[in-house]
Amino acid sequence: MQEEQEFINHLLDPKTQNQAFQQLLQDYQRPLYNHIRNIVLNHDDADDVLQNTFIKIFQNLKNFKGESKLFSWMYRIATNEALTFLKQKSKTSGISSETLQNKTIDNLEADVFFDGNEIQIKLQKAIALLPEKQQLVFKMKYFQELKYEEISEILGTTVGGLKASYHLAVKKIEAFVSTN
């Protein structure tokens, strides 16, 4: 925690800022990209959202109070950015967010940056049927293999609540894949 505070100080000090931010990018761009990509599904959108996320992180570093870990704070920003992005996208295209998600999944098969087979597409379709919160929990737990404690700090939900959400999500996904 002390190390982290030191790192944050480097990020805020104009002399060390550039180097520290480069380090931050090196450490977190991949996990944050994966997290965002799991939500928005296509590469170009993930790229946009990742840029906005790092700009937000950079601008808000001075307001970071250290109440949570830097890691979960950045994940929280990335989650909000990705969800806001999807809402705006569905609004501008005049379709519901569910329709948008299904459309994006249908486009995955033709996506050059998607290398998946039938079961992967089916899994994405099953996830799309879940409520937003269950989708997030499932993706963070199953794909990214985050710990419940980490997810709890990012989403602000109790570990018990997260376990219940994940369990429900798995049941619904298994039921969908078995019958389709």
Partner 1 sequence: MKTFKLENEPKIETGFKTPDHYFENFSIKMMEQLPKNEPKVISIFQKRKTLIMMAAAVLILALMIPILSPSSTNTKELDAVALENYITYQSNVNQYDLISVLETEDINNIKTGIVLEDEAIEDHLSTNSNLENLILE
Of 63 and 158, nearer to partner 1 (C-beta) is 63
**Is 174 one of the binding residues for partner 1 (CB under 8 A)?**
yes
Q: One symbol per residue from 115 to 134: x for binding partner 1 (CB under 8 A), - otherwise; what is it? A: xxx-xx--x-----------
Of 43 and 76, nearer to partner 1 (C-beta) is 43
* Contacting range for partner 1; rule: CB under 8 A; set: 36-44, 70-78, 147-155, 156-164: 36-44
Q: Which of 168, 86, 108 is nearest to 133 (CA)?
A: 168
- Work out the angle at residue 92's Cα, subtended by the Cα atoms of residues 88 and 98, and round it to the nearest 5 degrees: 65
Q: What is the C-alpha to C-alpha distance for residues 68 and 154, in angstroms, rounded to an integer?
A: 9
**Is 54 one of the binding residues for partner 1 (CB under 8 A)?**
yes
Cβ proximity of 118 and 109 under 8 Å: no
Q: What is the C-alpha to C-alpha distance for residues 44 and 50, in angstroms, rounded to an integer?
A: 10
**Is 160 one of the binding residues for partner 1 (CB under 8 A)?**
no
* Contacting range for partner 1; rule: CB under 8 A; set: 2-10, 44-52, 71-79, 93-101: 44-52
Q: What is the C-alpha to C-alpha distance for residues 89 and 97, in angstroms, rounded to an integer?
A: 8
Q: N- to C-terminal Cα distance for the chain?
A: 48
Q: What's the chain's Rg over C-alpha atoms?
A: 18
> Would you tell me which residues interact with partner 1 (CB under 8 A)?
14, 17-18, 21-22, 25-26, 29-30, 33-34, 37-38, 41, 43, 47, 50-51, 54-55, 58-59, 113-117, 119-120, 123, 142-143, 170, 173-174, 177-179
